[in-house]
Homo-oligomer: A and B are copies of this chain.
Amino acid sequence: MQADIITIGDEILIGQIVDTNAAFLGKTLNKIGVEIRQIRSISDNKTAILEAFTEAQNKVDLVVITGGLGPTKDDITKHTLCEYFNDTMEFYPDVMMHIEELFRKYVKAPVNALNRAQAMLPSKCQQMFNHHGTAMGMWMQKDDTVFVSLPGVPFEMKYLVREQLIPRIKERFLLPALVHKTMMTYGLGESIIAEKIADWEQALPPHIKLAYLPNLGRVRLRLSAKGTNDTKLRHEIDALFDALYPLIGEHITGFESEEPIEMQIGEALQQKKWMLATAESCTGGALAALFTQHPGASAFFKGSVVSYATDVKQQLLGVQQQDIERHTVVSEPVALSMAKGIIRQTGAHVAIATTGNFGPTQGEADVEIGTVCIAIITPKQEVVETFCFGKHRERNLQKTLNKALELAHGYLID
């Protein structure tokens, strides 16, 4: 069961937006056993759209299209789909009623001709009712290929995929089991890992594929298996990963979780009934933002002091002038003092503190660019470590967040 994803819109091609819709679709469809052959982003242009449809036709079982369903002139997906299917447009009264209701409730303006046209759909389509907008999803079939057209607004698209597309695909297609699992390693380059596990890799069965995903000091190893029995594949993958411990065991740090690491930390905190607070200099609030983006963070997160300026470190976190003078602001004593300060100020049980210089310029502290000190305090330990992440600012923030979360995770889960 193979699918193509086609995302339509010049804003993708000129890089005005990043195509997160395609990633969402890839992940969500893959999870139920749909193999994605390709993702294709094309222009709002009839010829380009028809070409893409023709190329996908009969090569895949399913084509999922997003974008181009709005009411304005530049939105041409629906008409192009209608042309591709040799179909005509039909008026759907239930869609019209829904549009009128949306306008009454939210827009507080009369429905105009463009909105009315949103109630016209190809006669051969099975509509996928979009309760959150005026652009309906459409399901159409030609020969052996199903074409599904969805609005490009991420919120509406996700709703339609979760509530309507997934159940329909499960009903219509016989789906194989696809299983991915990703092992995290730290401290070895991909070529060195590949050398150490060469015999193991050579012996992988044909239905299981290995990928190396190197990034910022980490290499992730993903095994992807295809078969008919989900449980059996999971066992196979687990057994294969187990065999890696004798080869590279000391570099394995765990498995990539479906659940982000900050959520795992949150759960560990709640189990222990501990509250967390952060004191952030170089991470500038990004650590707090990671925790608070998820619902329910208030159950374990007290707050943060972002002490970007040195006097804020003193005023709000009680960092001593003499520690700064003796060790500079980027130092282990200052990181530790920030962590202690935020615990004192908020009554939290656990603190993460960061201070560093991400570059590109030297800053107040006379330390090498890329130097970061991370302190962690829990009711059981006080630790502080210094890292040199390199001279590239754009990577230093991500590296610091990763490392801080990894350390906290290590100390909280035992």
A291 to B14, CA, bound (A): 25
Q: Which chain A residues in 13-27 approach chain B with CB under 8 Å?
A: 13-20, 22-27
What class of interface size applies to chain A in its complex with B?
35 or more
**A392 to chain B: which residues have CB within 8 Å?**
155
Asked if A301 CB lies within 8 Å of chain B CBs, one says: yes
Closest-CB distance, A35 to chain B (whole angstroms): 8
**A23 to chain B: which residues have CB within 8 Å?**
12, 15, 17-19
Query: 1/0 per position for A369-401, CB-CB distance to B under 8 A?
Result: 000000000000000000000001111010000
Other-chain contact of A27, B16, B40, B44, B107 (Cβ < 8 Å): B16
Other-chain contact of A113, B9, B190, B195, B312 (Cβ < 8 Å): B195
The chain B residue sitting closest to A133, CB to CB, is B214
**A298 to chain B: which residues have CB within 8 Å?**
308-309, 363
Asked if A349 CB lies within 8 Å of chain B CBs, one says: no
The chain B residue sitting closest to A113, CB to CB, is B195
Decide: B308 and A306 in contact? CB cutoff 8 A: no
Query: 1/0 per position for A304-332, CB-CB distance to B under 8 A?
Result: 11111101100110000000000000000
Asked if A164 CB lies within 8 Å of chain B CBs, one says: no
Decide: A27 and B10 in contact? CB cutoff 8 A: no
A222 to B12, CA, bound (A): 13
Decide: B293 and A286 in contact? CB cutoff 8 A: yes
Decide: B211 and A44 in contact? CB cutoff 8 A: yes
Other-chain contact of A190, B16, B70, B288 (Cβ < 8 Å): B70
Decide: A19 and B16 in contact? CB cutoff 8 A: no
**A359 to chain B: which residues have CB within 8 Å?**
295
Asked if A30 CB lies within 8 Å of chain B CBs, one says: yes
A360 to B295, CA, bound (A): 7
Decide: B211 and A11 in contact? CB cutoff 8 A: yes
Decide: B72 and A190 in contact? CB cutoff 8 A: yes
Of the listed residues A39, A40, A44, A107, the one surrounded by the most CB atoms of chain B closer than 10 A to its CB is: A39
Given the known interface contacts A112-B195, A303-B316, the answer about A211 and B309 at a Cβ–Cβ threshold of 8 Å is no
Decide: B316 and A346 in contact? CB cutoff 8 A: yes
Decide: B306 and A306 in contact? CB cutoff 8 A: yes
**A201 to chain B: which residues have CB within 8 Å?**
73
The chain B residue sitting closest to A276, CB to CB, is B308
Decide: A38 and B37 in contact? CB cutoff 8 A: no
Decide: B284 and A289 in contact? CB cutoff 8 A: yes
Other-chain contact of A13, B39, B191, B286, B289 (Cβ < 8 Å): B39
Asked if A264 CB lies within 8 Å of chain B CBs, one says: no
Decide: B39 and A112 in contact? CB cutoff 8 A: no
**A16 to chain B: which residues have CB within 8 Å?**
27, 180, 182, 213, 222
A17 to B19, CA, bound (A): 11
Decide: A284 and B293 in contact? CB cutoff 8 A: yes
Other-chain contact of A107, B26, B112, B189 (Cβ < 8 Å): B189
The chain B residue sitting closest to A201, CB to CB, is B73
**A38 to chain B: which residues have CB within 8 Å?**
13, 40-43, 48, 52
Interface residues of A (CB under 8 A from B): 9-20, 22-28, 30, 36-44, 48, 52, 55, 70-75, 107, 109, 112-115, 153, 155, 180, 182, 189-192, 194-195, 201, 209-215, 222, 224, 275, 277-278, 280, 283-289, 291-293, 295, 297-298, 301-309, 311-312, 315-316, 345-347, 358-361, 363, 392-395, 397
Given contacts A10-B222, A155-B395, A298-B309, 16 further A-B contacts (CB under 8 A): A12-B23, A15-B28, A18-B19, A19-B22, A37-B43, A73-B194, A73-B210, A74-B211, A153-B215, A288-B289, A292-B306, A295-B358, A301-B308, A303-B312, A304-B305, A305-B316
List the 5 closest A-B pairs by CB distance, nearest first.
Answer: A284-B292, A15-B27, A285-B288, A285-B285, A15-B26
